[in-house]
Amino acid sequence: MYKIGIDLGGTKIEGICLDESLNVIQRKRIPTNQQNGYTSILKSVASLISEITQNTDDYSLGICTPGTISKKTGLIKNSNTRCLIGMPLKDDLEKTLHHKVAMENDANCFAMAEAKMGAAVGFSVVFGVIMGTGVGGGIIIDGKIHHGRTNIAGEWGHHTLHQNGNSCYCGKRGCVETYISGPALEKRWTALTGKIQSLPDIVNNSTSSQWKEEFLSNFGTSLANVIDILDPDVIVLGGGLSNIDFLYTLGKNQVYDNVFSDQFDTPILKNKLGDSAGVFGAALL
């Protein structure tokens, strides 16, 4: 049986076909064209699946997308592909394809891929971190996604880092995401220096010790809180911020300084699959 994965992103849809040994048989990317609406996306996904499966019915199918399926309604919520919000995407795809669909958010797919094919192979409890436009995470325990009672396990980006702190789109204040996501860090840089720069430029040219110290402190405290609760065997960083080298040295030390333990050796690793993790994770569902 083939394993088909679809990474349904805001700008591109990527499909992959793996054999039983996880070798890549077929792979293709097409534009999402979300401006054309929900029905157009359904047709694009169905067409892509048909192409990469070469019209065989002998496959499992997983879909990775930002956002989650509400346990209460079965509808998509919190997706950056806005035309999907409030839509029964899983049900509609199953009706269109006449095939069962497994669907997960991008953080869970990232964590699954890194646990089974990437940096976290061989570890039992894996916390996969997404740090980019937003901050999220996924938990893998013995090769399976841990969803939690209400399907929010791993959402460390929305625990409170600073009481009455920065406003968050979720309606609360002080969320981790409002301090250590890419946009939040760029906004803080502008507030401190008056300059508007991209995060890679800030990291490469930073002369503001305050900006870096704040970033490291917020990163260390927030991730240490996760370790205190979950105590994972390994943490894998993903998303654009995972390319910041000092997170694996100064950042790791800052995490260890805040962990409630006399033993400080939780590995904090860079991902191995990069932006392919989502589509591999979807196939592994």
234-238 vs 125-131, strand pairing mode: parallel
Backbone φ and ψ for 90, nearest 5 degrees, come out as -60, -50
Calculate mean pLDDT across residues 211-229: 97
- CA atoms of 27 and 9, how far apart (whole Å): 15
Q: How far is residue 207's CA from residue 117's CA, in Å, rounded to a whole number?
A: 38
Distance, in Å, from the CA atom of 134 to the CA atom of 170, rounded to the nearest integer, reads 12
Residue 206 — very low, low, confident or very high, per pLDDT cuts 50/70/90? low
Number of other residues whose CB lies within 10 A of the CB of residue 42: 18
Secondary structure letter of residue 253 according to DSSP: H
Give the C-alpha separation, 125 to 137, whole Å.
Answer: 13
Could you tell me which of 68, 74, 64, 89 has the C-alpha nearest to residue 12? 64
Q: In what order do the strands lie in the sheet with 268-270?
A: 144-145, 135-141, 125-131, 234-238, 268-270
Task: Give the mean model confidence (pLDDT) for residues 194-209.
Answer: 87
For residue 82, what pLDDT is reported? 79
Q: State pTM to two decimals.
A: 0.90
pLDDT tens readout for residues 106-137: 999 999 999 999 999 999 999 999 999 889 99
Q: At what angle do helices 106-117 and 277-284 cross, to 10 degrees?
A: 80
* pLDDT of 276 higher than 90: no
Residues 9-55 have pLDDT tens digits of 888 899 999 999 999 999 999 999 989 999 999 999 999 998 998 77
The 10s digit of each residue's pLDDT in 147-159 is: 998 888 999 999 9
Question: Which pLDDT belongs to residue 123?
Answer: 98
